[in-house]
Structure 1
Amino acid sequence: MQTKEFYFDLPAELIAQNPSEKRGEDRLLLMDRASGEYKDLTIRDFPSLLEEGSVLVVNNSKVRKARTYAHTKGGGEVEFLFLEENEDFSWKCMCNKNKKQKEGKKYTFFDSNNNLITSAVLTKKNDDGSVILSFENPLDEEFFSLVGHVPLPPYIKREDTFSDETRYQTVYSKNIGSVASPTAGLHFTKEILDEIKNRGIEIAEVTLHVGPGTFLPVRSENIEDHHMHYEKYTIDAKTAELLNKAKAEGRKIVAVGTTSVRTLESAADREGHIEAGSRKTNIFITPGYKFKFVDSLFTNFHTPESTLLMLVSAFSSKEKILNAYNHAIKEKYHFFSYGDAMFIR
């Protein structure tokens, strides 16, 4: 299957540059997974669409202020996106101006008051385009709070603001480690979650730390040639027991976001039994994939030719999803991280 088959024309004005004025007031497109029929609703309608006894699975990963700006000896500025820490306390990062960066080059990091915080040396350039930065001392979260920025995706054409520190996090985020938000969860307020619980629906939390693979484009002509980045996920024993019991009883498993889908489908064995633990996954779900655990999907509208659009297409069909997307464009839904949502059941 070719990547270009997942292209659609999206007017730039429909790419949400800011969140809605109030969390939980976005639009919702309800779609039948089998028939492809759809209906225009709002997020406030979502709790009433869930069957009693269902389990809503959310990703509680918290976004790190992982985008930083470093200075070079010559006075230049380089942007680094911190991906993950290595065992020797060095960090794997992505950077702009990658070709100009050389092994042995030194960088300094300052806070907003121009106070020197720390320095680093580029010790390795990896084949995947990432680099390794080695620091004088191990970094802690205070470093990111002092020098970091909210890692808004590149299609948001503005600098991050103070409001992004809360609006680009889900209300249930707790385990820090993502470089992009599991954005489907941004729609939920504590009040909406309480309403869901009051309808007899359990909420299960898993953790998948979102890596750069969620926004990197598919550059291969054929989707089979694309390789996903690895991401770390965790499902504790209590949550695995809850999920397996619900599945055995025939209750619906509703995944909030593609990250929750990738977590559940990675953790499920061939018999559809969830295994607890912490592991890494590079699962790439495309049309033809047979879902082992997830029954319904709450998700945002995704970018053309993206791995996320391919996953959503696998959950229904490419034709049905693109048809629903064309309707959303016609009705001027907002797309991507700060945009509106779909519920596919």
Structure 2
Amino acid sequence: MTDPRLISIEAFDYPLPDGLIARHPLAVRDTCRLLVRHGDGSLEERVFADIAQLLSSDDMLVMNNTKVINARLRFRKGGGDQGARIEVFCLEPVAPADYERSFASRIGCSWRCFVGNSKKWKEGSVTMNVDVAGEGTVVLTARRLRHEGASSVIGFEWDNDSVTFSQIIEAAGELPIPPYLNRDTEESDLTDYQTVYSRIQGSVAAPTAGLHFTPALFESLRQRGVELRELTLHVGAGTFQPVKSETIGGHPMHSEFISVGIGLIEELARTDRRVVAVGTTSVRTLESLYWLGVRASRGESLDELPQWYPYDGHPTAMSRNEAMGCLLDRLRKDGSDVLTADTRIIIAPGYRYRVVDAMVTNFHQPKSTLLLLVSAFTGGDWRRMYDLAMEREFRFLSYGDACLLL
């Protein structure tokens, strides 16, 4: 395996015309265009709904069921309408650290957050009145507990213990659409920027390849005999961060929380089906499972998968089924039916895929880690695909068109 640390990020730059960035999705999700890259490298243009014809009963389609939360909270210093605006962007829970317990909290919680206009909030607390359906007006208070690099740990409290934090952010927060859309969140985004199968709260960005699927398309896939499976990766704000270092080795990969039920791991341990991942988040989770299986075989911790673990000389002869078997053994020994971990894995040219055989993905930003992942899968053939997509005026980024990489 080639060590990607010395790869120049300039090799993954391309001129993306502003006019090709999709500001809004199409009215019907599965009518977008689909660029298919076949196993022999040939390219074909289809419509996304055709994916039901391109997959078969030999395939397992794996999707990320995360749900985007209303992560952006806008406070006013002093509580009124005239004070300085303080924006608190929730990233991940700190106490309780478990997403489910934090959302269910009725006595307060703390989150790692980005703080906008931070200079105007040096001490004390900020508050806002929140109208919660069925509960009336609740006063939400935020206090900065400590700085942690570019982020801060913010403690939240509210004055009604019959209200959960989930209800608070649902009522008070704003859905955070991608910054490159250069517009405010609109009412339509509340639906458009969620997959039809989203259900586990925690992401601050959507797994956008999944936005193209519809209930009717899923029914077509079931009729084809395609197995549909779910996992969870909560997408962090780091997904939008371009690589700013000259080489990939200088880029600190962001950590993201994954949760996978033991049933899916059991299937992966015994199946010979082709695994088709919906989106780079599903890709990242599935490939992380392999390396967590390697860690399990070595008696190592499964709490976190380090960024460079696949490239650091660890044994790689293990098959997908064997790695999943080792992971199963550890989970059963620990008496757990769900694997939870933080993954920092970076998938870049030189990486050999262990679990994913095909993927559905959108067109990504220049110099992004997502583009590195696509390049690794296509053997460096991404530029030919992107050149064709720009020539034919495909729509790019979160609300844009899709690719099927076989």
TM-score by length of 1: 0.93
Deviation string for 1:240-296 (max 9, x for gaps)? Answer: 1122222xx3x2100000000110111113422333611110111100001111000
Equivalent in the alignment of 1:20: 26
- Give the structure with higher Rg (CA): 2
SS across alignment from 1:326 = helix
Per mean C-alpha deviation after superposition, the further-off stretch among 160-169 and 306-315 is: 160-169
For 2:196, the equivalent position in structure 1 comes to 171
* Partner of residue 97 from structure 1, selected from 117, 142, 160: 117
1:325 offset after TM fit, Å?
0.4
User: d(CA) in 2 for partners of 1:109 and 1:211?
Assistant: 25
Partner residue, 1:214: 239
| 1:121 matched to 2:121 | no
The correspondence for 1:334, drawn from 395, 402, 405, is 395
Matching residue within 299, 305, 309 for 2:361: 299
State yes or no: 1:30 paired with 2:51.
Answer: no
Q: Is the 8 A contact 2:94 2:153 kept in 1?
A: no
Where 2:31 maps in the other structure, the secondary structure is coil
Alignment of 1:1-345 (within 5 A): 1-33=7-39, 35-73=40-78, 75-87=83-95, 89-98=109-118, 100=119, 103-111=122-130, 117-127=139-149, 129-137=150-158, 140-246=165-271, 249=272, 251-268=273-290, 269-270=293-294, 271=318, 272=320, 273-274=323-324, 275=327, 277-318=339-380, 320-345=381-406
Question: Which residue type is aligned with residue 67 of structure 2?
Answer: K
SS in 1 for 2:180: coil
Call closer, same or farther: CA 1:174–1:56 in 2, change over 3 Å.
same
What one-letter code is carried by the residue in structure 1 that aligns with 2:154? L
Alpha-carbon distance in 1 for matches of 2:284, 2:182: 28
> Can you list the C-alpha shifts for 1:197-246, whole angstroms capped at 9, x where unaligned?
11011011000111112112212111111111111111111111122222
Secondary structure class of the residue paired with 2:229:
strand
Report the residue type matching 2:85 in the other structure: E
Amino acid at match of 1:81: F
CA positional deviation for 1:79: 2.0
* Structure having the larger proportion of residues in helix: 2
How far off is 1:40 after superposition? 0.8
Q: State, as a whole percentage, how many aligned pairs show the same letter.
A: 39
| 1:33-83 C-alpha deviation (Å, 9 max, x unpaired) | 5x4321111101111111322100000011111112111137111222101
The separation in 2 between residues aligned to 1:176 and 1:340, in whole angstroms, is 25
Which letter does structure 2 place at the counterpart of 1:131? Answer: S
1:141-188 deviation line (CA, Å, top 9, x unaligned): 111111111110101122112221111111111111111000100000
Residues 184 and 298 in structure 1, CA contact (< 8 A), matched pair in contact too = yes
Q: Whole-Å Cα distance in 1 between the matches of residues 275 and 120 of structure 2?
A: 46
Whether the 8 Å contact between 1:103 and 1:124 is mirrored in structure 2 is no
Corresponding residue of 2:4: none
Q: Aligned partners of 1:134 and 1:62: how far apart in 2?
A: 23
For 1:109 and 1:208, the matched residues in 2 are separated by: 30
Distance 1:75 1:184, change over 3 A: same
Q: Give the counterpart letter for 1:86 in structure 2.
A: V
The offset of 1:19, in angstroms, is 0.9
- Give the stretch that moved more between structures: 162-171 or 65-74: 65-74
Whole-angstrom CA distance in 2 between matches of 1:95 and 1:340? 33
Q: Is the 8 A contact 2:131 2:138 kept in 1?
A: no
- Tell me by how many angstroms 1:312 deviates: 0.7
Partner SS, residue 348 of structure 2: coil
Q: Secondary structure in 2 aligned to 1:90?
A: strand
C-alpha RMSD of the superposition? 1.9
Quote the Cα distance in structure 2 between the aligned partners of 1:207 and 1:65.
Answer: 18
Segments of structure 1 that go 5 or more residues without pairing to the other structure are: none
Size of the alignment, in residue pairs?
338
- Relative to structure 2, which stretch is displaced further, 262-271 or 204-213? 262-271
The unaligned stretches of length 5 or more in structure 2 are 1-6, 97-108, 295-317, 328-337
Structure-2-length-normalised TM-score: 0.79
CA contact (8 A) 2:57 2:227 kept: no
